[in-house]
């Protein structure tokens, strides 16, 4: 395996953060303190509802894809506010919430929206699509470096750059796609995506940076509102 491909895999899973994960299935998560029980119970309920709807959408929209979502909680107290979707060694979709992420949400609708968004990444096949785009871009950058007389090290660096540029050129579009389908999943699971999207009001706005990893918050909220209107939800 080329080293640039290892870099590609780390790039695609960058949202996972650094350090070991201390995960527990959502349905088995027990709060450390008595006052945490309502939060734990809410997360379990949201996980069941959103997980079921995500599976329904996955079976409806894909063929031959594993649609049995596992929803886990990272109990590492040092883990930053984060939620992400990945695949395990059996290609089973996994959604992981850090505890700090759960605590940062203000209601079940916000939890459901974030979870629906992450599930949508899998339904839309974003990991595979990113891998294909990055591989093609890496190969092209490597070819150009080779034509320019670059040695093995220069070609490898070009491939790394190509993989990164290829992914980042499309990643904002993928986020908007996941917001749109995530809105549908949230609504069908019994939660209000308009309330859920208020989460964007409290997180830093990345702006519209060239090759940024996320689109502006206002653009994401607009996608949610337009999709919610199509579902019959009003402001």
Looking up tokens 């939060």 gives 39
Domain that includes residue 65, residue range: 3-123
Q: What is the pLDDT of residue 71?
A: 96
| Domain presence at residue 56 | yes
Provide the edge-to-edge strand list for the sheet that holds 83-87. Answer: 23-25, 70-74, 93-98, 83-87
| Domain presence at residue 74 | yes
| Domain presence at residue 175 | no
Question: What integer is the mean pLDDT of 168-197?
Answer: 93
How many whole angstroms from its chain centre is CA 45? 20
Q: What is the pLDDT of residue 199?
A: 94
**Statement: residue 85 has pLDDT above 90:** yes
Q: What is the pLDDT of residue 167?
A: 63
How far, in Å, CA of 95 to CA of 180, rounded? 18
Q: What is the pLDDT of residue 130?
A: 82
| Domain presence at residue 181 | no
How far, in Å, CA of 86 to CA of 9, rounded? 11
| Domain presence at residue 139 | no
Range in 86-95, 104-113, 155-164 the model is least confident about: 155-164
| Domain presence at residue 144 | no
Q: Number of folded domains in the chain?
A: 1
**Statement: residue 9 has pLDDT above 60:** no
| Domain presence at residue 84 | yes
**Statement: residue 208 has pLDDT above 80:** no
CA dihedral angle for residue 17, residue 18, residue 22, residue 23, rounded to 10 degrees: 30
Which residues make beta-bridge pairs with 23? 74
pLDDT tens for each residue of 16-42: 344 456 788 888 887 777 767 889 999
**Statement: residue 1 has pLDDT above 60:** no
Which range, 34-48, 122-136, 158-172, has the best average confidence (pLDDT)? Answer: 34-48
Q: Using DSSP bridges, classify how beta strands 70-74 and 93-98 pair: parallel, antiparallel or unpaired.
A: parallel
pTM of the model: 0.82
Q: Provide the CATH number for the domain around residue 104.
A: 3.30.2010.10
| Domain presence at residue 222 | no
Q: Check residues 105 and 154 and name the one with the higher pLDDT.
A: 105
Closest CA to 11 of 135, 176, 140: 135
Grade residue 14 by pLDDT with cuts at 50, 70 and 90: very low
Question: What integer is the mean pLDDT of 46-70?
Answer: 96
What count of residues does the chain have? 235
């Amino acid at each position: 395996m080329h080293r640039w491909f290892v870099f590609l895999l780390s790039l695609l899973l960058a949202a996972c953060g650094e350090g070991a994960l201390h995960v527990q299935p959502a349905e088995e998560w027990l709060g450390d303190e008595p006052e945490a029980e309502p939060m734990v119970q809410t997360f379990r309920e949201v996980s069941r509802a959103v997980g079921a709807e995500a599976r329904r959408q996955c079976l409806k929209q894909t063929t031959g894809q594993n649609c049995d979502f596992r929803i886990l909680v990272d109990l590492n107290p040092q883990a930053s506010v984060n939620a992400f979707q990945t695949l395990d060694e059996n290609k089973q979709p996994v959604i992981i919430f850090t505890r700090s992420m759960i605590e940062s949400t203000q209601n079940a609708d916000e939890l459901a929206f974030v979870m629906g968004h992450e599930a949508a990444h899998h339904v839309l096949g974003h990991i595979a699509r990113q891998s294909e785009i990055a591989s093609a871009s890496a190969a092209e950058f490597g070819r150009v470096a080779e034509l320019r007389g670059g040695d093995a090290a220069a070609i490898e660096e070009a491939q790394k750059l190509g993989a990164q540029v290829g992914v980042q050129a499309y990643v904002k579009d993928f986020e908007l796609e996941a917001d749109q389908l995530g809105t549908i999943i949230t609504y069908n699971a019994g939660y209000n995506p308009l309330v859920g999207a208020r989460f964007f009001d409290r997180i830093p706005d990345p702006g519209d940076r060239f090759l940024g990893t996320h689109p502006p918050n206002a653009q994401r909220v607009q996608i949610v509102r337009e999709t919610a209107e199509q579902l019959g939800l009003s402001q």
